[in-house]
């Protein structure tokens, strides 16, 4: 690790620069920045300005360096993808190398196909077509830089790149399935503070790759190294998937009661989709500003949960929904501002489904299976326990042709053209369940609130 070397830029220009600690919403002066460094402020460990040390004493710099070495993470790979602080841990070069590891893996999976129409006998040998890989990114300022590095390496590795641009995770999954991509890389820092970025991986048919599937293989190949599979680079084209994805959601928002809904979501594209849909409904949407940050989504004491609960009560709304920045994980609040536990909401969705389609398969995360099984089986549901990773739930739904999945995580899955996890679709299903009667949300949840 290189030692602290003072300012990265001209000291005179730094005096007017703005500094912002990771996860905080306000800027600070350089003087405050230096004071926090000297005081070993915890957030300085992940700050992209932490190498701007000014004239701090050598003893302080040495201690800062020891602290940084001590907290360095052994790997950027998490159970569901890659996450790291932008520039400090994850640059476009490093992201490109991880994308290259994926490409190397994909080339081995490509089937041999015969050449056709070649006059030379030497060219009739079977060959492999380059894999088709979908790329997209979220709205974080660091994402365009990272996705550029990813696409560049994929092309150099002979992969045909289809760039769908700014997209939510559910929209990205839709694009991978719709375009029949061999795999996809979504650049996103979802679940972390604003200074973070990362990569999520999806396979053919929009099957998410967690560590228990192929993510572990990518990590091993990244660490061990790989070679370039072809001397020929491939091309890149763009595709606008958002309009098609959004059009597929409209059919779920029909025959609804004129409910008042408070909605908080830090992801602007998700907010925009919901606002466009509600502009055509009898329902009233009440936006609640929510910052981009790491949060405990299912904790009633979390600041954002309290903000949503208060808005529901003040606006006399029928329900509230808090959506995390992945566009998938969400939690709901009844008309009293009470947080509905994820297992209880699973039962609300399952009851509506099983009344229309008895015997349907319901995938339940193992951590909640024991609590949910008795009621689901009483409703003639076919209970299918599964692991909690994205891969495990998606594979269980595909294997057993299940129509719904849920549990403790706050991710709710529905069987569309592929098993999809989408907070906007979850909102539609909840509104449908509430529109089956005039009862309030707290009454519909009823005894289900006892399921934790």
Tell me the pLDDT tens digit for each residue of 30-68: 888 788 777 777 667 667 777 777 777 877 766 766 665
For position 114, what pLDDT does the model report?
Answer: 62
The residue among 318, 339, 360 that closes a domain is: 339
* 235-245 mean pLDDT: 96
Long-range contacts of 441-446 (CB under 8 A, 24+ apart): 441/318, 441/319, 441/332, 441/334, 441/335, 441/340, 442/334, 442/335, 442/336, 442/338, 444/348, 445/334, 445/340, 445/344, 445/345, 445/348
Res. 1: pLDDT tops 50: no
For position 414, what pLDDT does the model report?
Answer: 98
With respect to residue 436, please indicate whether it lies within any of the assigned structural domains.
no
The pLDDT mean for the chain works out to 89
For position 68, what pLDDT does the model report?
Answer: 59
Are 238 and 263 in a shared domain? no
Comparing 49-63, 204-218, 303-317, 386-400, the range with the smallest average pLDDT is 49-63
| DSSP-assigned letter for residue 447 | G
Are 141 and 202 in a shared domain? yes
Q: Residue 225, Cβ neighbours under 10 Å: how many?
A: 10
- Angle between helix axes 342-356 and 423-434 (nearest 10 degrees) is 60
Residue for token pair 């008309």: 335
| DSSP-assigned letter for residue 297 | T
Q: What total number of domains does the chain contain?
A: 4
The residue among 273, 304, 339 that closes a domain is: 339
Are 146 and 15 in a shared domain? no
Are 136 and 235 in a shared domain? yes
Q: What is the pTM of this model?
A: 0.82
* 351-378 mean pLDDT: 95
Q: Print the domain residue range for 276.
A: 252-339
* 166-190 mean pLDDT: 97
The residue among 324, 339, 354 that closes a domain is: 339
Task: Tell me the residue ranges of DSSP E strands in 2-131.
Answer: 82-85
Nearest to 5 by CA among 66, 68, 56, 70: 56
Are 105 and 48 in a shared domain? no
Rounded Cα distance, 365 and 227, in Å: 39
Nearest to 62 by CA among 112, 5, 19: 5
Are 28 and 156 in a shared domain? no
Rounded Cα distance, 44 and 218, in Å: 31
With respect to residue 444, please indicate whether it lies within any of the assigned structural domains.
no
261: phi then psi, degrees, rounded to nearest 5 = -125, 120
With respect to residue 58, please indicate whether it lies within any of the assigned structural domains.
yes
Tell me the pLDDT tens digit for each residue of 285-341: 999 999 999 999 999 999 999 999 999 999 999 999 999 999 999 999 999 999 999
Are 87 and 219 in a shared domain? yes
For position 35, what pLDDT does the model report?
Answer: 81
């Amino acid at each position: 690790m290189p030692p602290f070397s003072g300012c990265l830029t001209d000291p005179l220009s730094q005096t007017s620069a703005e500094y912002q600690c990771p996860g905080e919403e306000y800027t600070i002066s350089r003087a405050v920045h230096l004071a926090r460094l000297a005081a070993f402020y915890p957030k300085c460990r992940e700050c992209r300005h932490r190498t701007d040390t000014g004239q701090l004493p050598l003893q302080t710099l040495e201690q800062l360096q020891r602290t940084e070495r001590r907290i360095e993470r052994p790997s950027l790979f998490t159970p569901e993808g890659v996450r790291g602080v932008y520039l400090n841990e994850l640059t476009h070069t490093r992201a490109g190398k991880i994308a290259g590891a994926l490409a190397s893996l994909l080339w081995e999976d490509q089937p041999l196909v015969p050449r056709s129409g070649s006059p030379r006998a030497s060219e009739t040998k079977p060959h492999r077509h380059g894999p088709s890989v979908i790329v997209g990114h979220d709205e974080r300022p660091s994402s365009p830089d990272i996705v550029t590095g990813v696409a560049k390496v994929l092309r150099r590795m002979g992969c045909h790149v289809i760039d769908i641009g700014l997209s939510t995770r559910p929209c990205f999954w839709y694009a991978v399935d719709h375009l029949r991509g061999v795999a996809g890389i979504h650049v996103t820092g979802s679940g972390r503070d604003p200074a973070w970025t990362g990569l999520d991986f999806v396979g053919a048919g929009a099957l998410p790759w967690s560590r228990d599937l192929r993510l572990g293989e990518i990590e091993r190949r990244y660490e061990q190294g790989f070679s370039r599979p072809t001397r020929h680079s491939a091309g890149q084209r763009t595709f606008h998937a958002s309009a098609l994805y959004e059009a597929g959601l409209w059919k779920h928002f029909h025959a609804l009661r004129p409910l008042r809904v408070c909605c908080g979501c830090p992801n602007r594209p998700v907010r925009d989709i919901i606002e466009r849909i509600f502009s055509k409904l009898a329902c009233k949407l009440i936006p609640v500003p929510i910052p981009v940050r790491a949060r405990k989504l299912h904790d009633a004491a979390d600041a954002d949960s309290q903000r949503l609960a208060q808005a529901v009560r003040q606006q006399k709304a029928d329900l509230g929904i808090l959506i995390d920045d992945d566009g998938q994980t969400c939690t709901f609040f009844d008309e009293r501002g009470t947080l509905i536990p994820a297992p209880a909401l699973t039962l609300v969705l399952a009851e509506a489904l099983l009344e229309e389609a008895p015997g349907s398969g319901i995938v339940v995360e193992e951590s909640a299976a024991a609590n949910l099984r008795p009621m689901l089986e009483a409703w003639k549901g076919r209970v299918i326990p599964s692991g909690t990773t994205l891969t495990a739930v998606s594979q269980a739904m595909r294997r057993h042709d299940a129509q719904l999945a849920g549990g403790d995580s706050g991710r709710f899955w529905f069987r569309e053209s592929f098993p999809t996890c989408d907070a906007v679709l979850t909102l539609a299903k909840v509104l449908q369940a509430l529109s089956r009667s005039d009862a309030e949300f707290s009454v519909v949840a009823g005894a289900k609130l006892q399921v934790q």
